[in-house]
Structure 1
Amino acid sequence: MTETLHFTTGDGARIAYRLDGPEGRPVLVLSNSIATTLHMWDGQVAELAKSFRVLRYDFRGHGGSDAPAGAYSLDRLGRDVLELLDFLRLARVHFLGLSLGGFVGQWLGIHAPERIERLILSNTSPHLGPASYFDEQIRNVCAASDLAATADMFMRNWFPAAMLAGPNKTVEEFHAAILAMSPQGLAGCFAAVRDADLRRTISLIAAPTLVIGGEDDKVTLASHSEAIAAAIPGAELVLLPGVHLLNVERPVEFMEAVTRFLIAR
């Protein structure tokens, strides 16, 4: 694996990123879920790097990126990506976002269509509510002495009961990553999700789009994926048997859908 690099955004936040795969190939940006880092994609990078220059990054507030104080906005998270692309002199990219990464993908498709070649929106939604739920999560992570309860909640939301039933190295790694996270950074991204509402504007997305959903997703329901695919002109929809982190739970089926859409066209 390559080393983690950093660049600084216009508002002074250092953002961590990694590049894998040969230069000169089409660039594929991977954007992860809230409460995860760019390592969420470790299982996919080697395969994707055979065809793409793979660009991963940590959201502000997560992993190796800075965690500025205060609420973050989806606009700010989207601009972080655009500034990273500008920094790396990348004019157009493919973009694959899962969960919060999918919110960012929708924002880019709406607000920066000239930068997006093909768009994959996985396990995401144009809007999640109610706001009071996210306000409660923000209060909890800011008040708690550690993030153990928050980590347990995410595990239940992300993985099927079978993976949670016994010792599972993958689940343990994701759990440990949350315990190491900045509460301030997590709260900032909860605010971005709370305030995001793209329901009226996603029909403006013009990039060829694939929507991937989990039939048993408890957070971004399968019906949310169906609604996105119905709203974006010409979008394809793939529903997989699984919960939320489909790239982890269903890596073979997930990669088949992704590579078919990006390569075998």
Structure 2
Amino acid sequence: MLGHHTLTGPEDAPVLVLGNALGTTTELWREFDLPFRLLRFDHRGHGRSAPSDGPCTIEDLANDVVELLDHLGLRQVYYCGVSLGGMVGMWLAAHTGRISRLALLCTTAWYPDKSVWDSRIEVLRSSGMEPAADAIVGRWFTPAFSPAVVARFRAELLEVDVPSYVACCEAIREMDLRADLAKIDVPTVVIAAAQDQATPPELARQIADELPDSELYVVGDAAHLAVVEAPRTISVILDDHFGNVRPEMVG
């Protein structure tokens, strides 16, 4: 399912794909200025991408990225994903040869407690996004973070297609990528946020412990959307991780 995407930056630079968190759009990366050719995309029903045509899995969402890479003629890329975007990245790195270096931010390979997803899905199906929005956005940022930015992300969340969001919630609830971690043989950086309640640092440590070639960083003073609260710190980590090797590209 080919969705909305943008490809910006120097044409001779390596391509870095940026995968968004659930409920966010390509605006997630507004503050990033990395020396790569940046490929941003919106998940199904998010931003300017068409709604999902039914239930989906993490594999389905990952295959959306494969379709996008094929569409653009890109054989191998760098990939950086936040939360749901990171789950997609893990699947891609484990099951395709398209990812040469990987960054996983504020994500998990599985959720031991699925009740949070059951409760959220129930509210969304019965009442829509508005009643759930404050609780969702409240887990994204620390309490002292900019109210104006929080309001902007809340407004974007309310524009997400609710059935598509529910389909993604179900995909996350059913996901278990733990067995796939041993298959990821590319250099990987795992970044957690100290105040992340949605995917606490111990879940990031579990990922890093299972990867053959990984480094783990924990960013302080940030919650789930650490890429928004601490963009400079994370930019330095990503630039160091991705800045050494150029992937093969065609087209």
* TM-score interval, normalised by the smaller of the two chains: over 0.9
Does residue 76 of structure 1 match 2:60? yes
- Aligned residues of 1:22 and 1:53 also touching (Cα < 8 A): yes
- Aligned residues of 1:61 and 1:189 also touching (Cα < 8 A): no
In structure 1, distance between residues paired with 2:49 and 2:3 = 4
Paired AA for residue 140 in structure 1 = V
Q: How many residues align?
A: 244
Give % identity.
35
In structure 1, distance between residues paired with 2:180 and 2:129 = 35
- After superposition, where does 1:1-265 map in structure 2 within 5 Å? 9=1, 14-44=2-32, 47-48=33-34, 51-112=35-96, 114-144=97-127, 146-163=128-145, 168-241=147-220, 242-263=222-243
In structure 2, distance between residues paired with 1:191 and 1:70 = 11
Paired AA for residue 134 in structure 1 = W
- Aligned residues of 1:97 and 1:120 also touching (Cα < 8 A): yes
Shift of 1:67: 1.1
Deviates more, 1:167-176 or 1:208-217: 167-176
In structure 1, distance between residues paired with 2:169 and 2:82 = 15
- Aligned residues of 1:68 and 1:185 also touching (Cα < 8 A): yes
In structure 1, distance between residues paired with 2:244 and 2:12 = 19
In structure 2, distance between residues paired with 1:201 and 1:119 = 14
Shift of 1:264: 5.2
Q: Which contiguous aligned blocks of 4+ residues in structure 1 show a shift greater than 3 angstroms? A: none
For each residue in 1:73-107, what CA deviation from the matched residue of structure 2 results, as whole angstroms up to 9, or x when unmatched?
00100000001000100000000000000000100
Paired AA for residue 199 in structure 2 = T
Matched position secondary structure for 1:94: strand
- Aligned residues of 1:121 and 1:210 also touching (Cα < 8 A): yes
Structure 2: state its 5+ residue gaps: 246-251
Paired AA for residue 66 in structure 2 = L
TM-score (norm 2): 0.93
- Aligned residues of 2:44 and 2:50 also touching (Cα < 8 A): yes
- Aligned residues of 2:186 and 2:213 also touching (Cα < 8 A): no
Greater RCO (CA < 8 Å, at least 6 residues apart): 2
TM-score (norm 1): 0.88
- Aligned residues of 1:69 and 1:188 also touching (Cα < 8 A): no
Shift of 1:169: 1.4
